[in-house]
């Protein structure tokens, strides 16, 4: 138990450091990474019938989707921001539905879509940075 608590504390410190030292583009990359990891935890929870793991994964994923959605700049982002808002709204609905019906197909579809967006976002950093 103590080992688990210490490990969680170190993981939190590492996350805090990554966030504090990140630029805006990197923060979005971190959110995408954490979103995919949260979906993976929810999928694992469903596969082993662990309700707490599923619920925690979905809950964190919903929080991240909300953060991504509210960070969109519709004035500068135009159609791209609108498309991303639609994607995040869809993802939120799928996550909520999955929390009720435990359909892995929904989670897998959200994971695939988010992974594609995350990959495109990372490629922008590679071109700019």
Other CB atoms within 10 Å distance of the CB of residue 96: 12
Q: Is residue 17 part of a domain?
A: no
Q: Is the dihedral of CA 53, 54, 57, 60 positive or negative?
A: negative
Per the structure, the count of domains in the chain is 1
Please give the mean pLDDT across all residues of the chain.
Answer: 85
Under DSSP, the state recorded for 102 is -
Under DSSP, the state recorded for 129 is -
pTM beyond 0.85? no
Residue 13's pLDDT is what?
A: 43
Q: What is the pLDDT of residues 7-52, one digit of tens each?
A: 454 454 445 545 555 688 899 999 999 999 999 999 999 999 999 9
Residue 119's pLDDT is what?
A: 93
Q: Is residue 8 part of a domain?
A: no
* Chain mean position to CA 110: 10
Reported confidence tier of residue 103, pLDDT bands at 50, 70, 90: confident
Residue 74's pLDDT is what?
A: 93
63 near 55, Cβ under 8 Å?
no
The first and second tokens of residue 47, run together, are 């596969």
One-character DSSP codes across 19-50? HHT--HHHHHHHHHHHHHHHHHHHHHHHHTT-
Q: Is residue 3 part of a domain?
A: no
Q: Is residue 18 part of a domain?
A: no
- Domain residues for the domain of 85 are 24-128
Q: What's the CATH code of the domain at 29?
A: 1.20.120.340
Whole-number percent of the chain with pLDDT over 90: 68
Q: Is residue 29 part of a domain?
A: yes
Q: Is residue 74 part of a domain?
A: yes
């Amino acid at each position: 138990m103590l080992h688990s608590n210490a490990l969680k504390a170190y993981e939190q410190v590492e996350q805090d450091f990554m966030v504090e030292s990140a630029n805006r583009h990197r923060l979005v990359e971190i959110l995408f990474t954490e979103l995919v990891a949260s979906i993976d935890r929810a999928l694992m929870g469903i596969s082993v019938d662990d309700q707490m793991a599923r619920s925690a994964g979905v809950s964190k994923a919903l929080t991240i989707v909300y953060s991504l959605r509210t960070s969109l700049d519709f004035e500068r982002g135009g159609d791209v921001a609108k498309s991303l808002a639609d994607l995040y709204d869809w993802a939120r609905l799928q996550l909520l539905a999955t929390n009720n019906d435990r359909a892995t197909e929904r989670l897998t579809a959200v994971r695939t879509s988010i992974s594609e967006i995350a990959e495109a976002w990372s490629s922008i950093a590679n071109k700019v940075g």
